[in-house]
A and B are shown apart, each in its own frame.
Chain A
Amino acid sequence: MTDVLRITLAVAGKDIRAELHSRTALISALVFAALVLVLFNFARDPTAVSAAILGPSVLWVTFVLAALLAMNRAFTIERENSALDGVLLAPIPRESLFLGKLLANLAFVGVVELLTLPLFMLFFNVDLVPRLPGILLVTALATTGFVAVGTIFGAMTAKTRFAELMLPVLLLPFMVPPLIGAVQVTSRLLADRPLSEMWGWLRLLALYDVVFVVLCTLAFSAVVDE
């Protein structure tokens, strides 16, 4: 167990350090998120649809698309100089490699989401501050699930010629369940509905997380080992 934790932290630390040096994924995902919000802001008619109704969908579509950019990066750096071979040569449990990549991806996507929230408040004139604990909870629950699936698909597509194209094609269908749950909870949060109305969706998101984190961890070895 300590071995798994040690390697998980080493892999995550390596990815975060590499990203801090290059800032490729973070900056491009943040700029992309801002552009999507700007586009939606100009594309909507505020007299026809209120921000409270459209906002949750826009927020989560922005999160999902920005997350795709951030996650593409995770295995692109492993492809350069066949660096992943260097990791696979080491006497490490493959599960810890997956958990390390997952942790790093969660950190990247989490930072992008946190920095996107103020932009969303600005463009859509929605006050999230009083609902922040709820927003952070649903964001954490929904993000964990789709990032787990994105991490394993990232490893699969990294070996293909069109990795950047293949990842969204494979991942987007798996993002639908957490996306629906997250939009439903966020809509209720913005409408100041009671927690009892969100409980079912939150449980669904938590279940999705448990199922896919466990499945992806167990399946990862088959994906990276030939």
Chain B
Amino acid sequence: MPSHDQGSLLEVRGLQRSFGRVRILRGLDLTLRPGESLAIIGPNGAGKTTLLRLIAGLLRPDAGQICIQGQPLRAGAHRVRSAVGFVSHQTLLYDDLTLVENLAFTARLYGLRRPVETAVAALDAAGLADRQSERPKGLSRGLQQRAAVARALLHGPPLILMDEPFNALDAAAAQRLRDDLRSRLSRNASLLLVTHQLADAWELASRVAVLIQGRWVADEPRSGSLDSFLLRYREWAHD
């Protein structure tokens, strides 16, 4: 078993995962320290979403270990999960509940005090104050995404996992999300963000990684311009 890096919030060692005969992740290592934000880019099928779902505890690895705040993530270790907030492709919202009911239910699951008040405050911060009594299915995809993000960040998780969080958001909402994430990063939260639109996340990321066919091709501090990084990315993706 690899030794745990005391300063890391997330430590992944030798992570492997297959679906049937298809190998998705081929022994990934990853370390994320408090305040760090890592943007992961890669072509379709590279294993980005699988990586996030494994770290969120929604999938089990075939091999390897995931430690969050020094605690191994395994079945039954449900306390570790409170450290994670996950924005998925799906909204994870109940269509038959109003937005405030959805978030109040989440608040109850995380044992937050005053669940309804907490939910109202989160919706207000997401610019959904006037929509709190509406159900997700009646909202546009962009408004649903705002609610999904508010839901994921409701309990103030130190480790934030985001799969295409800027999808369907308008420019103002995307900027508001970036500002919110910057504020959380300054308070020592860590961010792992998967995107196809690196431009949306470039300024937010302290590191940028490229995942291709389940392996890291690059993992480096963000430096230089987005255009020069994308030029190199295209070369990696075509190799």
Q: Which residues of B contact A81 (CB under 8 A)?
A: 90-95, 136
In the complex, A30 has a CB within 8 A of chain B: no
Partner of A10, one of B81, B92, B95, B109: B109
Q: Please state if A14 and B94 are interface contacts (CB–CB under 8 Å).
A: yes
Q: Please state if A92 and B136 are interface contacts (CB–CB under 8 Å).
A: no
CB within 8 Å of A: which of B86-128? 86, 88, 90-98, 101, 105-106, 108-111
Q: Mark A204-226, 1 if CB is under 8 A from B, else 0.
A: 00000000000000000100011
In the complex, B60 has a CB within 8 A of chain A: yes
Q: Please state if B59 and A92 are interface contacts (CB–CB under 8 Å).
A: no
Q: Please state if B110 and A90 are interface contacts (CB–CB under 8 Å).
A: yes
Interface bracket on A? 20 to 34
Q: Mark A4-26, 1 if CB is under 8 A from B, else 0.
A: 00110010001001110110000
In the complex, A82 has a CB within 8 A of chain B: yes
Q: Please state if B109 and A7 are interface contacts (CB–CB under 8 Å).
A: yes
In the complex, B58 has a CB within 8 A of chain A: yes
Specify the chain A residue showing the minimal Cβ separation from B76: A221
In the complex, A80 has a CB within 8 A of chain B: yes
Q: Please state if A226 and B109 are interface contacts (CB–CB under 8 Å).
A: no
Q: Mark A68-94, 1 if CB is under 8 A from B, else 0.
A: 000000000100111101111111111
Q: Please state if A17 and B56 are interface contacts (CB–CB under 8 Å).
A: no
In the complex, B151 has a CB within 8 A of chain A: yes
Q: Please state if B110 and A18 are interface contacts (CB–CB under 8 Å).
A: no
Q: Please state if B106 and A90 are interface contacts (CB–CB under 8 Å).
A: yes
Given A87-B109, A91-B82, is A18 in contact with B76 using a C-beta cutoff of 8 Å? no
Q: Which residues of B contact A85 (CB under 8 A)?
A: 58, 86, 88, 90, 92
Given A221-B76, A226-B58, is A92 in contact with B96 using a C-beta cutoff of 8 Å? no
A83 to B59, CA, bound (A): 15
Partner of B81, one of A6, A18, A89: A89
Q: Please state if B108 and A10 are interface contacts (CB–CB under 8 Å).
A: yes
Q: How many A-B residue pairs have CB under 8 A?
A: 85
In the complex, B34 has a CB within 8 A of chain A: no
Q: Mark B56-93, 1 if CB is under 8 A from A, else 0.
A: 11111000000000000001101111101010101111
Q: Which residues of B contact A14 (CB under 8 A)?
A: 94, 97, 101, 105
CB distance from B156 to the nearest CB of A (A): 13
Q: Please state if A21 and B105 are interface contacts (CB–CB under 8 Å).
A: no
A91 to B95, CA, bound (A): 23
Partner of A90, one of B59, B96, B109: B109
In the complex, B26 has a CB within 8 A of chain A: no
CB distance from B58 to the nearest CB of A (A): 6
In the complex, B135 has a CB within 8 A of chain A: yes
Q: Which residues of B contact A226 (CB under 8 A)?
A: 58-60
Most chain A CB atoms below 10 A, which of B59, B78, B86, B90: B78
Q: Which residues of B contact A225 (CB under 8 A)?
A: 60, 75
A187 to B101, CA, bound (A): 45
Specify the chain A residue showing the minimal Cβ separation from B98: A21
Most chain A CB atoms below 10 A, which of B79, B96, B97, B108: B96
CB within 8 Å of A: which of B30-71? 56-60
Specify the chain B residue showing the minimal Cβ separation from A3: B111
CB distance from A95 to the nearest CB of B (A): 11
Partner of A21, one of B82, B96, B108: B96
Specify the chain A residue showing the minimal Cβ separation from B83: A91
A109 to B42, CA, bound (A): 48
A123 to B88, CA, bound (A): 51
Q: Please state if B56 and A86 are interface contacts (CB–CB under 8 Å).
A: no
List 5 A-B residue pairs with CB atoms under 8 Å apart, sorted by A's residue number.
A7-B109, A80-B94, A89-B57, A92-B109, A94-B78
Which A positions have Cβ atoms within 8 angstroms of B? 3, 6-7, 10, 14, 17-19, 21-22, 77, 80-83, 85-94, 221, 225-226
8 further contact pairs, Cβ within 8 A, besides A7-B109, A90-B109, A91-B80: A80-B94, A81-B93, A85-B90, A87-B109, A90-B82, A91-B79, A91-B111, A226-B58
Q: Which 9 A-B pairs have the closest CB atoms?
A: A86-B92, A90-B109, A18-B96, A82-B90, A10-B108, A91-B82, A91-B81, A22-B96, A91-B78
